[in-house]
Structure 1
């Protein structure tokens, strides 16, 4: 009888020891899964922050620079998804894992689509640019959906699994990819990209209007007055010798020569080789409102080094206002040659 009792006690002890070891392994697996998801989620959130910061600075650089940045964000999003796919997933975390993969796939796919549209969105106004801007706004809806999935599914599923296992002291960080819901609006996207939709916009006072409609009766139009770079006023028809230094600015002066206030007038400077090969450097800025008779001076920093010692053309354009009929005085082309400062 003593032997039987001792044997039973040993069996009970072994049972509870094995159970304790299993519980400990399960708890550690849950903690490790949550730790790795937290790292992936934080990286993904930071990728979103950098994406929208970069798009908000679109007017300060070239379309190719922004395209390259977005491609790097896409690569990071792909890496985050791969890391999530390779996780060792405890049975209790299967539902959280499925939701996590859906959220990360939406972010990866959204960045892929935006990288394909961004250069068209930053091109000249027209249907092509409008379609690209609207496509980007549509992809931002996918980012919003990924945020909802992460907050409504991933975090609650992880918390539920940890609570059921009585695992405490764990942080489940948020992972909001898009911090401003305004990015799902095409006019907002256009504004942040320093662009102007050809089918709509705002009048400077926050009122939506159709940019294809006249702002009032009478004449409409702007006239380009002058363009300078540093201390040099550019002259058409003759080679302009310019000295490049980082951050030097173009100064474009134009006047509202019509009989109405005009809104969202985009000014662009494009630097290209006279031979026609190579990439074009594009500088753009949109003036929200130009009163009747007002003269505006627009500063456009040259943040990218142009080809040095090469024959170039500098094309300056003041976008036509709705109902503007005379546009030949809205633009000028200046032959130029840059020296290193």
Structure 2
């Protein structure tokens, strides 16, 4: 048998298993376990410091806001006190002093001019009230304050308009005098609104903000209930009330 007659060598058909990739050997750039722990510790410390700083900032901002709000409430109370004091001392007091001082029975035009001068002071108080910086806690108090000032200013405006007729004679004088007495009700109403609404609301807002020891001013524009009677008005201005004749100025 010849060499070429030998059976061919069979080659295995099963695939070879691929060689597993070699894992790279550790290099000098890898962080050792001890260094990684130190890094985590430093990161935790940094986060903690950041949180502390954030809390300090938040507390500081809240403190500034609270301080600013407290100052705004105190300023509002002080400004209201100044306006209402002016309304009492530069508007109401001079007006009733004019009527009750024995000089109101002069010429109608002279009295009207003097009342209009007082009216201008009342309108200035209204303007000052509208220009106030009002904290949100004082909005209700502000609405009632403006009602007080508007009542007084409006009453003086109408009284000044009625004076020439009231100082005349006849039915027209009686009607005008009664109308002036009706306007005196506006002064009384303003006192009630201030004492029952404006002042209590200011006190409430201050108390809720933890502000104690501040004085909220009182206010009284109408000196007495006798000014609600037409006969008192007629006597003060030298006019005529229903069922009466012209009288002298009230003492």
TM-score in terms of structure 1 length = 0.57
Cα distance, 1:13–1:113 mapped onto 2, change above 3 Å? same
Aligned to 1:154: 198
Q: Distance in 2 between matches of 1:162 and 1:66?
A: 42
CA offset digits 1:183-219 (Å, max 9, x no partner): 111112222224443514xxxxxxxxxxxxxxxxxxx
Change (3 A) 1:65 1:78: same
Partner of 1:13: 56
| Larger strand proportion of the pair | 1
Gaps of 5+ in 1: 201-263, 267-284, 287-341
Cα gap change, 1:87 to 1:265, in 2 (>3 Å): closer
1:89 to 131, 134, 147: 134
Alpha-carbon distance between aligned partners in 1 of 2:74 and 2:97, rounded to the nearest angstrom: 33
**Are residues 1:192 and 2:236 paired?**
yes
Report Cα offsets for 1:86-118 as digits up to 9, x if no partner: 111110000001111111111111111000011
Matched, 1:37 2:80: yes
2:227 corresponds in structure 1 to 183
Residue 121 of structure 1: aligned partner: 166
Cα deviations across residues 252-308 of structure 1 (Å, max 9, x unaligned)?
Answer: xxxxxxxxxxxx675xxxxxxxxxxxxxxxxxx48xxxxxxxxxxxxxxxxxxxxxx
**Contact residue 58 and residue 194 of structure 1 kept, 8 A:** no
Are the structure 2 counterparts of residues 25 and 180 from structure 1 closer, same or farther at C-alpha, using a change threshold of 3 Å?
same
Give unpaired runs (5+ residues) of structure 2. 1-43
Q: Residues of 1 paired with 2:125 and 2:75: CA distance?
A: 17
Give the Å deviation of 1:39: 0.9
SS of equivalent residue, structure 2 residue 114: helix
Q: Is 1:55 the counterpart of 2:95 in the alignment?
A: no
> Aligned pair count?
205
**1:29-88 residue CA offsets vs partner (Å, 9 max, x unmatched):** 111111111111111112111111111134563322211110011111111101111111
- My pick for the range that moved more, 55-64 or 173-182, is 55-64
- Which structure: larger Rg? 2
Q: Does 1:22 align with 2:65?
A: yes
Relative to the length of structure 2, the TM-score reads: 0.76
Q: Choose the corresponding residue for 2:208, options 145, 164, 184.
A: 164
Higher-helix-fraction structure:
2
Question: Contact 2:106–2:237 at 8 Å: present in 1 too?
Answer: no
Please give the alpha-carbon distance, in whole angstroms, between the structure 1 residues aligned to 2:183 and 2:151.
9
Q: RCO higher in 1 or 2 (8 Å CA, sep ≥ 6)?
A: 2
